A = this chain, B = another copy of it.
Amino acid sequence: MEGRAARSVKKPAARHIPEATVARLPVYVRTLLGLADEKTSTISSERLAELAGVNAAQVRKDLSYLGSYGTRGVGYDVEYLLFQMSRELGLTHDWPVIIAGVGNLGRALANYGGFGERGFPVAALVDADPKKVGKAIGGIEIRHVDDLPDIVAEHHAAIGIIATPAAAAQDVADRMVAAGVSSILNFAPAIVTVPDGMSLRKVDLAVELQILSFYQQRRTEPDADRTVASAGGEG
């Protein structure tokens, strides 16, 4: 119930946090980082909600899952909240990632320095094409996908990014799992399955565009009872 007063660093018993809340935490973190930059020391749930694009009650409920870190009548201490959330999200140390597939997307991800800055350095690039192996992109050497077990062990990498063509996605995922990766972010337009207990998320650009197309279609169409609704951006 305190922990803030005593500035306790202990984690409050790892309660269960709803997935929807977990998905919003990174947004709060980013917002808070911006506030910290401009020397804001305290923030109310209402203002944070506005900046993060959600409901104020939602913010309070989300933050309450982490613990009672607010002060009634005042708000939340930006730095302290940031610290707690970073710890909860595991952002207190780096998470090296392995990118599989050096195509257009893989190259862009490798060149994009933003990951490293945000705590997700690219540990290695892998590809199945022997002709690409040995070259480097963004200062990172491309290695063969067969080396995955070694790479994972070398870098203690637990997160894999699949940026291969759809046909290779499941195979690469299986290899990653076998090599010890336990979190996968899949960009390939294919359904990938992983064993229980692992994390899998997907980002599918074509799907996103087609969802937009659906609502666009309904708006444009001179049809019947079209119920215009905002295509809720992210659940």
Least CB distance from A156 to B in Å reads 10
Residues of A11-34 at the interface with B, using a CB-CB cut-off of 8 Å, are: 11, 13-14, 16, 19-20, 22-23, 25-27, 29-31
The yes or no answer to A140 lying at the interface (CB within 8 A) is no
Interface size class of A (residues with CB under 8 A): 35 or more
Interface window among A55-63, A88-96, A127-135: A88-96
Q: How far is the CB of A139 from chain B (nearest CB, A)?
A: 14
**Contact call B201/A14, Cβ cutoff below 8 A:** no
Confirm or deny: A73 has a beta carbon within 8 angstroms of a beta carbon on chain B.
no
Flag the segment in A39-47, A74-82, A145-153, A185-193 that touches B.
A185-193
Closest CB in chain B relative to A45 CB, distance in Å? 16
> With contacts A191-B51, A210-B25 known, is A14 near B105, CB below 8 A?
no
Q: Which of A14, A89, A233 has the most CB of B within 10 A?
A: A233
CB distance from A165 to the nearest CB of B (A): 10
B216 touches A95 (CB 8 A): yes
Closest to A219 in B: B182
A215 at the A/B interface (Cβ < 8 Å)? yes
Known contacts A14-B226, A199-B215, A218-B14; A19/B210 CB under 8 A: no
State which residues 107-141 of A face B: CB under 8 Å: 107-109, 111-112, 114-115, 118-120
A162-194 vs B: 1/0 string, CB under 8 Å?
A: 000000000000000000001111100101010
- Quick one: which of B90, B182, B191, B230 contacts A198, CB cutoff 8 A? B230
A195 to chain B, nearest CB (A): 9
Determine whether A97 belongs to the interface, using a CB cutoff of 8 Å to chain B: yes
A38 at interface, CB cutoff 8 A: no
A230's partner among B196, B218, B221 (CB-CB below 8 A) is B196
- Is A5 on the interface with B (CB-CB < 8 A)? no
* Cβ contact of A89, chosen from B183, B197, B202, B217, cutoff 8 A: B217
Partner of A159, one of B16, B191, B204, B212: B212
> B-contacting residues of A (Cβ < 8 Å)?
11, 13-14, 16, 19-20, 22-23, 25-27, 29-31, 51-53, 88-91, 95, 97, 104-105, 107-109, 111-112, 114-115, 118-120, 158-159, 182-186, 189, 191, 193, 196-221, 223-235
